[in-house]
Amino acid sequence: MSFYPSLGYLIFGSRLRRLSEYFLMEVNKVYEQAGIPFDASWFPVFYLLSEQQPMPMIDIAGQLEISHSAVSQMVTSLKKKGLLKTTPCKEDGRRQLVAFSRKGEELLQQIQPVWEAITGAMNALVMENKQSRQVLAAIAQI
């Protein structure tokens, strides 16, 4: 018996982390092969902003269920790369609204077809294996 399965739930978090890291690495290879300078770790922020912008930083944190500090660090990093811009909220100057810069909008246009391809590939993969269809629901329950 393999080491990991023998540990059962004691190693569950570590196995999920390894799976996540592997998946992100593979997705980054897809972007790299397409010549797109995008990191899979940026996906949640990019996706939210592709649906609605500008968006208050606090709302991004709430929807992603991460700290405001983590969002602030990500936004600052993406601003330095010229992909995002922030402006003070008119109603409350303490709040920052986040939106794509022109460069960010151009990058979004490049990555959206990759998102569609990944979604299609994952849907096909899940359809091949009955148990795979239950993975997202099981993770949500845990």
Return the pLDDT at 1.
55
Return the pLDDT at 61.
95
Helix axes 43-51, 57-64, angle to 10 degrees: 120
Low-confidence ranges of the chain (pLDDT < 50): none
Record the pTM. 0.82
- pLDDT tens-digit map of 9-33: 778 888 888 889 998 999 999 999 9
Residue type, 74: M
Return the pLDDT at 89.
82
Return the pLDDT at 75.
95
CA distance 5 to 131: 17
Return the pLDDT at 139.
75
Q: Is residue 90 classed as helix, strand or coil in its secondary structure?
A: coil
CB 124 within 8 A of CB 131: no
CB 117 within 8 A of CB 29: no
Chain centroid offset of residue 114 CA: 13
Return the pLDDT at 85.
96
